[in-house]
Amino acid sequence: MDYTAFLDMSPEVAQALEQGRPVVALESTIISHGMPYPQNVETALRVEETIRQNGAVPATIAVIGGRLKAGCTREEIEHLGRSGTAVTKASRRDLAVLVARGMDGATTVTTTMMIAAMAGIRIFATGGIGGVHRGATTTMDISADLEELSHTPVMVICAGAKSILDLGLTLEYLETHGVPVLGYGTEELPAFYTRHSGFKVDYRVDTPEELARIFRVSSELGLPGGILVTNPIPEEYSMDPEIINAAIDRAIREAEEQGIHGKATTPFLLARVKDLTGGDSLASNIQLVLNNAALAAKTAVCLRR
């Protein structure tokens, strides 16, 4: 299908793809909804620089004025960061409406995967994916990220599912939908702010070369869907599980008391956890994103070889 009527690629990204150079996709919800200004913009630019330092071209993805963007300018990143939550958090159900109305949208893991695939970008670095929310057996609150992973052929490199979620049910959902969960240098699912969750991944992988080889074979076999790579936060930035879990539990209680649900849940919980930990969770969040970006760039370089 030809998406050119809706898709704009930056000159840098377009040239890299034409020349067969490695490109890494980046989401934009982390800019508008994941961090406060100006740390959000500073982090986004640091992540792009980290990708360049590791041999790949960054492609921050968003919807700007109804156009799907694969590669945002510095000015567009600044716009998303300053606008914050005033920008629509764009999941799959929002995309057609935003484009038709000429609106802005910050892309989630779901829509970043979609637009990356449209552009021909196969590697995507993020912080953490969405998943099955706690209490989902009653609320049915399950992130669209999991469904997208089951049928969009992009490798997503993250620090695990966000620890505000039900990690056990998230893994069960991914297994049911045939999404392989790989642990980079670990057999245990990392829990975003911490390196340990008590849950096992499907396979341990120890090099970017092997990650690239697995993704290439998956493509050659014609297997549908993506691959999830969970990359633990660096040890020196990993938070005490008791402290972070206590903050998460309190934030979840407050969300329930205030009637917060749906797409507003994750931004609210992340903001409250940041406040409850005195900003420590934000510092950890920044470091894990940088760590994932470096691994994604190395993997993209290996894939292009």
Per residue in 158-193, pLDDT tens? 999 877 788 999 999 999 999 999 999 999 999 988
What is the DSSP code string of 81-148? HHHGGGSEEE-HHHHHHHHHHT--EEE-HHHHHHHHHHHT--EEE-S-B--BBTTHHHH--B-HHHHH
Who wins on pLDDT, 139 or 187?
Answer: 187
Rg (Cα) of the chain, in Å, rounded? 18
CA-CA distance, 159 to 128, in Å (whole number)? 5
pLDDT grade for 2, boundaries at 50, 70 and 90? confident
pLDDT digit string (tens) for 24-79?
999 999 999 988 899 999 999 999 999 999 999 999 999 999 999 999 999 999 99
pLDDT greater than 80 at residue 113: yes
- Active-site option among 69, 89, 162, 298: 162
pLDDT greater than 90 at residue 127: yes
pLDDT grade for 95, boundaries at 50, 70 and 90? very high
Is 298 a residue of the active site?
A: no
Positive or negative, the CA dihedral 29, 72, 152, 204 is negative
pLDDT grade for 145, boundaries at 50, 70 and 90? very high
Nearest to 291 by CA among 230, 207, 231, 208: 231
Structural domains of the chain, with CATH: 7-304 (3.40.1790.10)
Phi, psi of 107, rounded to the nearest 5 degrees: -80, 135
Return contacts of 251-254, CB within 8 angstroms, 24+ apart.
251/164, 251/276, 252/134, 252/164
Enter the tokens of residue 241.
């599980």
Enter the tokens of residue 31.
């800019």
> How many Cα atoms within 13 Å fall on the side-chain side of residue 264?
7
- pLDDT for res 133: 80
- pLDDT for res 277: 78
Is 162 a residue of the active site?
A: yes
The answer to which of 89-98, 267-276, 279-288 has the lowest mean pLDDT is 267-276
> How many Cα atoms within 13 Å fall on the side-chain side of residue 291?
25
Q: What is the mean pLDDT of residues 114-121?
A: 98
SS3 labels along 147-176: HHHCCCCCEEEECCECCCECHHHHHHHHHH
Assess contact for 31 and 41: CB atoms under 8 A.
Answer: yes
Q: What is the mean pLDDT of residues 223-236?
A: 96
- Active-site option among 27, 76, 78, 148: 27
pLDDT grade for 272, boundaries at 50, 70 and 90? confident
Q: What is the mean pLDDT of residues 123-132?
A: 94
- pLDDT for res 300: 98
pLDDT grade for 137, boundaries at 50, 70 and 90? confident
pLDDT greater than 80 at residue 149: yes
Q: What is the mean pLDDT of residues 118-128?
A: 97
Q: What is the mean pLDDT of residues 235-254?
A: 86
- pLDDT for res 259: 86
pLDDT greater than 90 at residue 260: no
- pLDDT for res 8: 98
Percent of the chain at pLDDT above 90?
Answer: 74
CA-CA distance, 20 to 161, in Å (whole number)? 31
Residue listed under structure tokens 């960061």: 81
> How many Cα atoms within 13 Å fall on the side-chain side of residue 188?
11
Residue listed under structure tokens 């953490």: 128
- 185 by DSSP, 3-state: which? coil
